[in-house]
Structure 1
Amino acid sequence: MLFEISENEKVEIAPSDLIYFSETRYLKTQRRIVLNFIESEKVIGFVTFDMRYFNKNAYITYYLLPEKRGMGKGKEMLRKAIEFAFKELNLRRLTAEVYDYNVSSKKVLEKLGFVVEGVVREGKYHEGKYYNIIIYGLLKGEWKI
């Protein structure tokens, strides 16, 4: 059996099979929302919501410039993004995946109320070694401003 690398899928999924796929198969619109955080007229970081509209859920990704770390800015950025997600986007939950070696990111999520919900064992390969991916979740009802 041969395969080719392509930018597009060349098979249409039968409508009856869509139940086995993410809701993104139903939606043809952009499903990401990005919040860019600005300080002194310069973007210092972002939080991206990979939306799951039907389930009122989003997977979050976040980044803060290295020179801005260690000053509480990442925590504040995430706090504002969480508040936006629950109040403005009316989401019910947020999900984050963090590589086990990213200790500072795990601490920030935990300080903001995220709970470990699972582990993808040895799901990340980095510099010759496999690491776990920690799955965190935060429900709207658990969020404390």
Structure 2
Amino acid sequence: MTYQHPRSKRLAVVLNLKRREEKEALQRWGDIEQRLTAEKDKRTQLDTYAQEYRRQITSPADQSVAAGQIHNSLEFIGQIETALAQQDNQLKELEALSQRARDAYLEVHHKADAMESMIDKLEEEHKLSISRAEQREADEWANRRR
């Protein structure tokens, strides 16, 4: 957009910088959200593994299950549960990071929108001022012709 008011022209440069900053903040937030989704998927997969091993131990089978096999399965379930706890911590950290990135994006977005609104208002006032000046000039010419 081409601005006429001198102050609008100066603020347009700042607005462009804010919009660029807004785009970068949105990209950061999106990247974190993608990581969060991937980590949630990993957690779901780990939980599925643990459930599967539990089911193998507890479900009746046609064959008897060796004590060593049960012990190994229980040990593996313990490892999975440790990994699940670590995954939960990582998810909490990513969720907090995502919230901060979202807040940062919204802050920049609102500032850019407010600046754009201010520039639009300046432009409207400038156009109105020019229109009034032109009307005054036209009235003066009309009065001089009489």
Alignment TM-score, normalising by the size of structure 2: 0.19
Higher relative contact order by CA 8 Å / sep ≥ 6: 1 or 2?
2
Which structure has greater helix proportion? 2
Between Structure 1 and Structure 2, whose CA radius of gyration is higher?
2
Alignment TM-score, normalising by the size of structure 1: 0.19
